[in-house]
Amino acid sequence: MNIGQKIKNLRIQKDLTQEELGERTDLSKGYISQLERNLSSPSMETFFSILEVLGISPKDFFDEKEQVQQVVYKCDDYTVFYEEEKGYEINWLVSDSNEQDMEPIILSLDKEGEYKEFEPSLSDTFAYVLEGSVCIEIGMDRYYASQGESIYYHALKKHQIKNNYHETSRLLLVATNSYL
C-alpha cells in the first residue's frame, strides 16, 4: 500500500491544499509534501491527526478488500462540492477519480465565479463548455471559450478558469492526475 499516495488522494478528495491540511494538523506544508511522496513517515499521533482531518478511520484507510471495478456511475454516485466564496460548484462524475489517471467533473461557475488557481503540474486538462463562456488564464496568457467550444492545455504554468458570462457557465472538465 502506498500510504503517501492514499493520504494525497484523500486530501484532494476533501479539496484541501497541502497547506490547508498542514494548518489543520499543525504540520508544515513541506512535511505534508514529504509524507505524500513517502519521503517521511508520521508518528502514530500525527497519522491519526491527519486521518481525523481527512474524515477516515484507520480501519477504512487500511482496508484493501478486493473491489469489483465500477464501470457505470449513476447520479447517486456523484459527489458535489460548492465553494460559495469563489462561486463555483464541482460535481465529481466518478466517485473514486482522484485515485485514477483522469478526474472528470462538471464545473459550474456562478456569475463572476472563479475556480481555484492551480500550481504548475504535469497534468493535462480538457474541457468542453456546456453553457456560458469562460476565461482560462495560463501564466500571463488569457484564452476565451464559449458554449460548444473545447479547451485543451498542459498545466505547466499556474492556471485558473473564470466565468466570463453574465450568468452561470458550466463545463465538462477532465484533468489527468499528474503532479510535478
- pLDDT for position 85: 92
CATH code of the domain covering residue 114: 2.60.120.10
CATH code of the domain covering residue 43: 1.10.260.40
Domain boundary among 62, 83, 112: 62
C-alpha cell at 154: 498542459
Q: Range of 154's domain?
A: 75-176
* Residues 6 or more apart whose Cβ sits within 8 Å of residue 15: 81, 83, 90
**Which residue's C-alpha cell is 494538523?**
25
pLDDT tens-digit map of 81-136: 999 999 999 998 987 666 678 889 999 999 999 998 999 988 899 999 999 999 99
DSSP assignment, residue 32?
A: H
- pLDDT for position 78: 85
DSSP assignment, residue 24?
A: H
Whether residue 106 sits in one domain with residue 28: no
Higher model confidence: residue 62 or residue 142? 142
Confidence of residue 25 (pLDDT cuts 50, 70, 90): very high
Whether residue 24 sits in one domain with residue 102: no
- pLDDT for position 121: 87
In a domain, residue 69? The reply is: no
Cα separation of 155 and 129, whole Å? 18
Whether residue 94 sits in one domain with residue 135: yes
Higher model confidence: residue 78 or residue 150? 150
**Which residue's C-alpha cell is 472538465?**
173
Whether residue 114 sits in one domain with residue 46: no
- CA separation (Å) from 85 to 16, 79, 81, 110, 113? 15, 19, 12, 10, 9
In a domain, residue 169? The reply is: yes
pLDDT tens-digit map of 77-86: 888 899 999 9
pTM of the model: 0.61
Strands of 79-83's sheet, edge to edge? 79-83, 88-92, 102-109, 169-176, 124-131, 150-154
